[in-house]
Amino acid sequence: MGFDLGTTLQKMNILSDTDNSSVVAINLFVTLLCACIVIGHLLEENRWMNESITALFIGVCTGFVILLISGGKNSRLLIFSEDLFFIYLLPPIIFNAGFQVKKKQFFRNFSTIMLFGAVGTLISFVVISLGAISLLRPMDIDLEIGDYLALGAIFAATDSVCTLQVLNQDETPLLYSLVFGEGVVNDATSVVLFNAVQNFDLTHINTTVALELVGNFFYLFITSTILGVVAGLLSAYIIKKLYFGRHSTDREVAIMMLLAYLSYMLSELFNLSAILTVFFCGIVMSHYTWHNVTENSRITTKHTFATLSFVGEIFIFLFVGMDALDIEKWRFVSSSPKMSISVSGILLGLVLVGRAAFIFPLSFLSNLTKKSAHEKIDFKKQVTIWWAGLMRGAVSMALAYKQFTSLGHTNVRGNAIMITSTITVVLFSTVVFGLMTKPLVRFLLPSSKQLTRMISSEPATPQSLTVPLLGGEQDSLNDLYGQNITNGQASEASGVGQNMPRPNSLRMLLTRPTRTVHYYWRKFDNAFMRPVFGGRGFVPYVPGSPTEISVRHFPEELEKAARTLH
């Protein structure tokens, strides 16, 4: 909603008539969002479909209907604005990613994630840029060197939402955290690359400029991370200092949301990588702030962030689908359909090659550093990771619009071809590759619940009430008593809350190289950070905080009361 709001806000006239079109647009969009959610729910058990593809389909169909109604003039009610995308839709999605990430897994695989996300994206960027220069230049499309480099950044941005919907965080924790982590770092890297390409003077490329680019990249990476961490710690400190013992849930939730958003916008203001900032803000908030608020606030924030992210994602796919049929940009292309098809084909091929060019070599490198077989990425997993990053989505679209349009209109032939090719690649990869993801993952990774279920956050049956709790807690227990693990007491400690034997995780624990770093971090965290900023187990206990207790038991008792009435 609100894409067309621009014009509305400009007019600022009487609500009733002038902005009727924007009211219609909002109505249509909200209705379509509801339809997507309901249909997505109904198709959940389906073998091929997922929510993204459903939204894309509905978007394309709606675009087609609007096209028919408007007599072939228009397929969209709202103009795609990459500002709206970057200022309103992306922040909740990325923040939620950081907020819900299993920090343990993420930091355990940090080096591999950075290798794939940063170095890999850079390789992909170079391959696609060089490929575009050598293959597209002879085709007589008037693009400059900056455009080719921008193409590299645009098509280096993956969209792993599809695959993540299929992978199971509990069944394949290593794979999930790699795909997930790479996705976020990849988003940040490609946006930083894109901005770098746009800002630097690219007519004279030499070693100095290249070094400056690299230096700039690391500067952005570090400062953005620091800003996110500071914002997260600030929220933890404020809530711990001010709100202790009070029960104003609204204030807590509001402060958390506002500070998260503020971190994103501050980063945007300082021209840093806002994606990275808000991602790390999410991680810090879930580690400290979330434990300082009341239980109601915890449940509320957790689900609100997830819902916002969920709706944002559907909205984007719906929109991309609707925008795909926009007639204006196809007009230029219709004169030379062959060229458009071949450009799309070339770009799609470059995407496939560019990704293969780093996944397999970097996996090999990563495997060299790992001793345990369970930490190595076998060939099947490499193929899965490769596949997971083939989809191109909203970030690519937004960057393409930024580079190739002015005012949302595509009136230069070269630009129109690039926009339509981007749409073709996004649609094709999301739909065709997306549809094949579920079957492929099931083929490559047959369900292995018994073997790899390690840190299950949800109980399989209601009977095992305490299992997930202590299973989740266990990691930190192990770390707190890290010294005990070596003399064998750990198996006893883990046995407390875990019914099934866990030889894999124990062996991993003993052999993983990051253990020492992590151990000292936990010591520092427990000795300094948590006492100051709060966090699990470090929030002073409020004896019998009434709101918490009453609300927790309230609906349960209500249900009982209701049942006895019958």
**Of residues 23-62, those binding its own copies (CB under 8 A):** 23-24, 26-27, 30-31, 33-34, 37-38, 40-42
Residues 282-301 within binding reach of its own copies (CB under 8 A): 295-300
Closer to its own copies by CB, 201 or 556: give it: 556
Of 101 and 123, nearer to its own copies (C-beta) is 101
Identify whether the C-beta of residue 87 lies closer than 8 Å to the C-beta of residue 274: no
User: What is the amino acid identity at position 9?
Assistant: L
Interface with its own copies in residues 140-199 (CB under 8 A): 195, 198-199
Query: Based on the number of CB atoms within 10 Å of its own CB, is 292 exposed (0-12), middle (13-18) or buried (19 or more)?
Result: buried
CB of 30 to its own copies, least distance (A): 5
CB contact set of 254 (below 8 Å; sequence gap of 6+): none
- CA-CA distances (angstroms) from residue 399 to 83, 86, 195, 438? 10, 10, 10, 28
The least distance separating its own copies from the CB of residue 217, rounded to whole angstroms, comes to 16
DSSP class per residue in 513-531: TTHHHHHHHHHHIIIIIHH
Binders in 212-241 for its own copies, by CB under 8 A: 238
Within 444-483, the residues that bind its own copies by CB under 8 A are: 458-463, 465-466, 468-470, 473, 477, 480
How far lies 468's CA from each of 231, 301, 459, 500, in Å?
31, 21, 6, 12
Q: Does 69 bind its own copies (CB under 8 A)?
A: no
Burial of 98 (0-12, 13-18, 19+ CB in 10 A): buried
| Binders of its own copies in range 536-555 (CB under 8 A) | 536-538, 541, 543-547, 549-555
The count of chain residues that interact with its own copies, using the rule CB under 8 A, is: 116
Minimum Å distance from CB 235 to its own copies? Answer: 9
Binding piece for its own copies, criterion CB under 8 A, among 99-107, 245-253, 486-494, 509-517 = 245-253
DSSP 539: S
Using CB under 8 A, which of the segments 141-149, 152-160, 252-260, 383-391 binds its own copies?
252-260
- Spatial neighbors of 50 by CB under 8 A, at least 6 apart, are 40, 43, 162, 165, 166, 434, 437, 438
Asked whether 181 and 103 are in contact (CB, 8 A), the reply is no
- Using the rule CB under 8 A, which residue among 123, 154, 253, 388 binds its own copies? 253
The stretch among 113-121, 148-156, 208-216, 242-250 that binds its own copies (CB under 8 A) is 242-250
Of 155 and 243, which CB lies nearer to its own copies in the complex structure?
243
Binders in 381-410 for its own copies, by CB under 8 A:
401-402, 405-408
508 binds its own copies (CB under 8 A): no
Cα 400 to Cα 155: distance, rounded to the nearest angstrom: 9
Does position 532 bind its own copies by CB under 8 A?
no
- Residue from the set 141, 311, 356, 455 that interacts with its own copies by CB under 8 A: 311
Q: How many helices (H) and strands (E) does the chain have?
A: 30, 0
